[in-house]
Structure formats: structure tokens, C-alpha cells
């Protein structure tokens, strides 16, 4: 019986980072276990280009993203064509080896080599505009305890010459768009109060 390849969402994330380091000779600071402080403010340096990555276990897992929106079809119409820096990266097995593939978030039919997405970032101001519109279309996750919710556990990746830094989307919003972070935190806390009260 051949050995079955087993992997998880985190396996995809780790593989992406290791492959980028190995094949692109990039230095990484990646808070993969949630220690966002490791990335510091390097993500926000003036010459950094930013991409947004949601890691998924496999192709079938991509459909779970639809549940994060109040109306996915409306969100897709509004954001499609603006998602050139927003990706879903997932794994698949070929010849008993885990491989990665990337697709644009809303334009999911468009495939990319995973490491090519490192060349597709946005400037910080454009990135913030995109995030504000994206977050406005998402549901509030009532399971959260006052932070920006598990629905926002994507990775913001900053690319500058020779370096790549990764930070959770929650930490990025907290540092780069504090007014939005506060508004989201209040909304989540209010929703929790209504649900628990």
C-alpha cells in the first residue's frame, strides 16, 4: 500500500515560506504561530509591496471563503479585478509530493505559480483602500472575544528587495488602519454582548 500524503492548511503555509526562501533567496520573518511581533513594522517599509494570502489545505477548501461574506456574489462583483494582489494558496499531491498552486481570491479560475505572487503586490495606500472595501463586505464573526476575529486570519506579506515579511491580517489592520480596527473590535464586542446577554 503506497504511503498517503497527509497535509493541513499550516503545512501549505510553511511550504510556501520554505519554498520562497529556498528558490528566491529571500529572508523571512513569518509569525506562523501567531507571534505577530516577530514581523515588526518591516511589512510597512516605504519600498514594500503588499499581498494578502489566505492559505487553504486543498482546492476543495477554497469554497469555505464564500461563507465569510454577507453576500459573496455581491462582494465578488465589487472586488473582482481589484484582487491582483489577493490570493488563495493551497496544496495538491502529484507523484506522492505536495505541490502548491495559487489563485486570485475572487478571480479563482486564474491560476498562478505560487512564488510568482510575490511579484504582484500593491503600495500601502492602495492596499488599505482594498482592505477597507473587503472588510466592509465580510460578516462579523460572533465567536470572537473582542479581537478582529478568526475570519481575518489571513496573512499580509510585504515584499521589498531581498526581504519578505509576513504578519497576520488582524495585526496589519491594527497597525496600519487603527480606526478600522477599533470599529471592528467595537462591532464584534457589541455582537457578543447581544448574543451573550
> Domain boundaries in the chain?
9-196
SS in 3 state form for 113-153?
Answer: CHHHHHHCCECHHHHHHHHHHHHHCECCCCCCCCCCCHHHC
pLDDT (tens digit, 9 = 90+) per residue, 94-131? Answer: 999 999 999 999 988 889 999 898 888 888 788 888 88
Please state, in angstroms and rounded to a whole number, the distance separating the CA atoms of residues 59 and 102: 10
DSSP state of 9: H
pLDDT above 50 (res 165): yes
In whole angstroms, how far apart are CA 51 and each of 3, 137, 170? 35, 19, 14
pTM: 0.72
pLDDT above 80 (res 176): no
Lowest mean pLDDT among 47-51, 73-77, 171-175: 47-51
Average pLDDT estimate for 130-144: 74
Among residues 80, 163, 169, the alpha carbon closest in space to that of 128 is found at: 169
Please state, in angstroms and rounded to a whole number, the distance separating the CA atoms of residues 93 and 145: 37
Residue 4 and residue 52 in contact, taking contact as beta carbons nearer than 8 Å: no
Residue 164 — very low, low, confident or very high, per pLDDT cuts 50/70/90? low
Lowest mean pLDDT among 25-34, 84-93, 143-152: 143-152
Of the two residues 189 and 97, the one the predictor is more confident about is: 97
Of the two residues 42 and 64, the one the predictor is more confident about is: 64
pLDDT (tens digit, 9 = 90+) per residue, 72-85? Answer: 999 999 998 898 88
| pLDDT value at residue 163 | 66
Average pLDDT estimate for 28-46: 35
| pLDDT value at residue 13 | 83
| pLDDT value at residue 151 | 44
88: how many CB neighbours lie within 10 A of its CB? 21
pLDDT above 90 (res 174): no
Amino acid at each position: 500500500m503506497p504511503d498517503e500524503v497527509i497535509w493541513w492548511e499550516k503545512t501549505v503555509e510553511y511550504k510556501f515560506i520554505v519554498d520562497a526562501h529556498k528558490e528566491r533567496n529571500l529572508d523571512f520573518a513569518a509569525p506562523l504561530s501567531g507571534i505577530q511581533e516577530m514581523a515588526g513594522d518591516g511589512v510597512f517599509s516605504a519600498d514594500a509591496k503588499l499581498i494578502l494570502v489566505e492559505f487553504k489545505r486543498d482546492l476543495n477548501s477554497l469554497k469555505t471563503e464564500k461563507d465569510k461574506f454577507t453576500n459573496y456574489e455581491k462582494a465578488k462583483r465589487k472586488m473582482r479585478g481589484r484582487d491582483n494582489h489577493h490570493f488563495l494558496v493551497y496544496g495538491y499531491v502529484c507523484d506522492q509530493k505536495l505541490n502548491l498552486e495559487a489563485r486570485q481570491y475572487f478571480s479563482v479560475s486564474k491560476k498562478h505559480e505560487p512564488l510568482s505572487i510575490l511579484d504582484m503586490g500593491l503600495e500601502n495606500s492602495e492596499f488599505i483602500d482594498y482592505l477597507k472595501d473587503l472588510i466592509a463586505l465580510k460578516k462579523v464573526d460572533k465567536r470572537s472575544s473582542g479581537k478582529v476575529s478568526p475570519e481575518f486570519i489571513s496573512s499580509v506579506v510585504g515584499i521589498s528587495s531581498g526581504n519578505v515579511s509576513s504578519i497576520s491580517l488582524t495585526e496589519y489592520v491594527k497597525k496600519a488602519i487603527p480606526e478600522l480596527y477599533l470599529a471592528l473590535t467595537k462591532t464584534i464586542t457589541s455582537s457578543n454582548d447581544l448574543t451573550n446577554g
